[in-house]
Structure 1
Amino acid sequence: MTGSPSLLFSLTELAVVISLAYSGASITNNQDDCHLTHIKVPVILDQGTVRLQSPEFTADNFSEPGVLCGIECQRKLPKPRPAELERLLSYETVYENGTRTFTKIKLEETAELKNASSSIVCQAGHLKRRKRQVYGMDGRFVITDKHFITKYPFSASVKLSTGCSGILVSPKHVLTSAHCVHDGQVYLKGTKRLRVGVMKLHSKRRGGGQRGDRRRGSEVATEGELLHREREHRRKRKNRIRRDTDSDRSRQPVFRWTRVKRTQVPTGWMRRAGREVSADYDYALLELKRPQKMKFMELGIVPVVKDIPAGRIHFSGFDNDQLGKVVYRFCSVLEESNDLMYQYCDAQKGSSGAGVYVRLRDQGGKGKWKRKLIGVFSGHQLVEVDGMEKDYNVAVRITPAKYAQICHWINGDASQCKLS
């Protein structure tokens, strides 16, 4: 029996997206030239932690940053001095019990940094924004198959109770956008009881009944009764197998929610008097109360994304127009700065905070293919280019300094933060 053309197209489309997501296929022929390189990572040390007043959870929703100055504008900005970079990378920590601390850091080996971070924010003024998060034909892929949703790399994507996405970077840590928990001045209302949802197959546990059909006392069964019992046993076993099969078919992925133990946000995201927030530091780390058993995505650094085949990036999230479904997409990076990647990956609200990754070879291009998390999807921005406003979807890249900071948050030990 031949399937309908629409069904065949859907199956073909699903096969293509799974192939791209799992194999990292490229349209170029230089895949073997793209591999992980050894990049010097600085060492971040905590200099001191002080107790702050209890945080305010009063922000309703975060309004996106104003117009960003373009690539030409960024090139004119001076690189931050070590002291300024240390200020930007110092951080706030909010705990589940409502307490808040500030930690000042010391950055060592700053002279070795290849990607020095720099602020690229210009004043927003009163410009009107156009919400163009989907460019032309929608190129997103909605992953509906329950077996793919609950397998890596899609299983590493998580949903925040504030409506954003995130990605597992350890069994107990989720990387997301800072604006998903903080608006630059105060924390969002939903952050006070923040939870993270992981997609897992729903299964109902059935209680066991009495086993067998044994007669009480010492009564001896006749041959006819034994034959009847055997037939009943076979019938019940057949029905049980059928119920188990039907139950497996009907099982659909659901969110398993876990409370957040603490939230960490870099000072670089905090709004200073007379200035807008900086998209360069739009990232935050969440520590979960319970570890997750699924595979997480490792951090990585790619100084120039355009050097990889097709300059292609991938990320999956929970877009609001596809409730309860994982949405995957990939695209090429068009422009990039020290801290941001500009692209036209189609996205809708809810995808902010999703982990941006690439697929590279380790061991100088001779080892296995690995997915490496190189950024966090921030959202739609207007960028100033040649004196004009241009639409982009923007992702915050992980620089060596940010890698050291996030790794320090995860492990608390600088010796474990060497880039592999």
Structure 2
Amino acid sequence: MEKALLWLILFTLGWALPDGSEMEQDAMWHLRKVPRVVRERTFHLSSPTFEAEAKMVFPKMCGIECQEELPAPSLPDLEESLSYETVFENGTRTLTRVRVQGLVLEPTQNTSTRGAPARRRRQVYGTDSRFSISDRRFLTNFPFNTAVKLSTGCSGVLVSPTHVLTAAHCVHDGRDYVKGSKRLRVGLLKMRNKGRGKKRRGSKRSRREANGDAPREDLKERARAGRRRTSSAGGQRGAGGRPSFQWTRVKNTHIPRGWAAGGSGAAALDYDYALLELKRAHKKKHMELGVSPAIRKLPGGRIHFSGFDQDRADQLVYRFCSVSEESGDLLYQYCDAQPGSTGSGVYLRLQGPDKSWKRKIIAVYSGHQWVDVHGVQKDYNVAVRITPLKFAQICLWIHGEGADCTYG
């Protein structure tokens, strides 16, 4: 049974596909030119209160069948939604206005997603098809090593040596930043061998601590980190090869104005994504960003993502499924998931122009939603697509103004 499960994961990830198969020949990344998002002006805002509850906002959705009838947003509307807030580690906040260059407005499917009450949650459909990843060979290697956990209880994905992509609602409820996000931390899974972590007698750091010369703040931070690792591992310290989390503080957080609407309106699900900048760079391999292709261009119609579902006690949980419906900004699917997995990076494995195989993030898992479809309420697990405009915006956040974000 264990070998069969291992083979299934290998096959699903593409590691066991035979060369030259029909699926491989059709699975291609088709790079497209994307518009440019340019910073225009930055304003200082009042500091947030960080009082919101860390729970999912349930926007009201007009229904898949009505989205084609909605007019495409105007350029000023898009620029307003793509303008963004940045909240810094010290609690200060700014708003950056942007301009969009090189955009050709075309009629497109869109989504109207304004606030509505929550409904009954059902995030596992039929037989639970999730896989808990515990084998060290997978857990510490790409692509599973790119999954991270947020101290607010969500998941995220590494998209650069210092950046994590996640869902906006994991840190902001559409009006204010959630409790705990002012001192937000990101946990990277780390395997600790038995006996590892003992101080080497001759190490410089150990000598400083023995002599009482270590900075007091450094000692306090290390003590807090040790308590967090113990708590996250359910009382274990990671000995004997058990996984534990290495926690890193977040330097700043970017959230699109389309989500952080403040007093001007409710959050829009289309913009439920955020980028976190870490205080310290990691050494793990990260995921690249890609523009979300149409369903018909997905290999087998499938998407993949991994996160830390709350019902599985800090285990990394992987799943894959077919996409059922799509709009211009959202993917509707039935990938089994539970709270805690929101913010995970949804990815594909496709072949690039140089014939090499690459996995790229094409959406951010947002969570469970109810949708009115031809007058009938249907529930889906929804992911926010990385459109060309969102690709350009996130690329600007990661690489800065002078970066080449022309193709995605």
TM range (shorter): 0.7 to 0.9
- The 1:205/1:161 distance shift into structure 2, 3 A limit, reads closer
1:338 lines up with 2:338 in the alignment: no
Q: Secondary structure at the match of 1:416?
A: coil
Secondary structure (helix, strand or coil) at the match of 1:303 reads: coil
State how many pairs are aligned.
370
In 2, Cα distance between the equivalents of 1:344 and 1:209?
Answer: 53
**Residue 292 of structure 1 aligns with which residue?**
282
Is the contact between residue 36 and residue 101 of structure 2 (CA under 8 Å) also seen in structure 1? Answer: yes
Deviation at 1:129, TM superposition (A): 1.3
Aligned position for 2:55: 62
**Partner of 2:377 in structure 1?**
389
1:162 is the counterpart of 2:152: yes
Deviations 1:320-373 (A, max 9, x none): 01112110000010100000000000000000000000111111xx60111011
CA distance in structure 2 between the partners assigned to 1:316 and 1:25 by the alignment? 21
- 2:77 corresponding residue in structure 1: 84
Q: Given the alignment of the two structures, is residue 418 of structure 1 paired with residue 406 of structure 2, yes or no?
A: yes
5+ residue gaps in structure 2?
A: 203-237
Distance 1:30 1:13, change over 3 A: closer
Aligned counterpart, 1:282: 272
Aligned to 2:231: none
Q: Which has the larger radius of gyration?
A: 1
Matched, 1:45 2:18: no
State which of 334, 355, 359 in structure 2 corresponds to 1:371. Answer: 359
CA distance in 2: counterparts of 1:268 and 1:68, whole angstroms: 15
Q: In 1, Cα distance between the equivalents of 2:90 and 2:122? A: 39
CA distance in 1, matches of 2:65, 2:171: 31
In structure 2, do the counterparts of structure 1 residues 303 and 116 end up closer, same or farther at CA, with 3 Å as the change threshold? farther
Query: Secondary structure, in 3 states, of the residue corresponding to 1:310?
Result: helix
AA at the equivalent of 1:69: C
Alignment of 1:400 with 2:392, yes or no, is no
Quote the residue 1:243 is aligned against: none
Structure 2 residue 174 is the aligned partner of structure 1 residue 184: yes
Overall identity of the aligned pairs, in %: 51
Superposition deviation, residue 275 in structure 1: 4.8
AA aligned opposite 2:86? T
The match for 2:164 among 174, 180, 183 is: 174
Q: Which amino acid aligns with 1:52?
A: L
CA contact (8 A) 2:160 2:287 kept: yes
Superposition RMSD on alpha carbons, in Å? 2.4
CA distance in structure 2 between the aligned counterparts of 1:209 and 1:332, rounded to whole angstroms: 54
Letter in 1 for 2:404: Q
CA shift for structure 1 position 395: 0.2
Does the Cα contact within 8 Å between 1:41 and 1:404 map onto a contact in 2? yes
Conserved 8 A contact 1:140-1:328: yes
The alpha-carbon deviation at position 163 of structure 1 amounts to 0.1
Provide Cα deviations, 1:99-136, integer angstroms capped at 9, x if missing partner. Answer: 1000000100111x679684422562x5x612110000
Question: Any unmatched runs of 5+ in structure 1?
Answer: 1-8, 211-247
Kindly indicate whether residue 11 of structure 2 is the aligned counterpart of residue 23 of structure 1.
Answer: no
Please say if residues 43 and 414 of structure 1, whose CA atoms lie closer than 8 Å, have aligned partners that are also in contact: no
DSSP-derived class of the 1:38 partner: coil
Question: TM-score scaled to structure 1, two decimals?
Answer: 0.83
| Counterpart residue identity of residue 8, structure 2 | V
1:205 positional shift: 4.2
Greater Cα shift, 43-52 or 11-20: 11-20
Normalising by structure 2, we get a TM-score of 0.85
Bigger shift: 256-265 or 141-150?
141-150
Equivalent residue in structure 1 for 2:122, among 115, 118, 132 = 132
The residue number in structure 1 matching 2:296 is: 306
Report how far residue 183 of structure 1 moved: 0.2
- Contact in 2 for aligned 1:155/1:199 (Cα 8 Å): yes
What's the secondary structure of 1:11's corresponding residue? helix
1:377 positional shift: 0.2
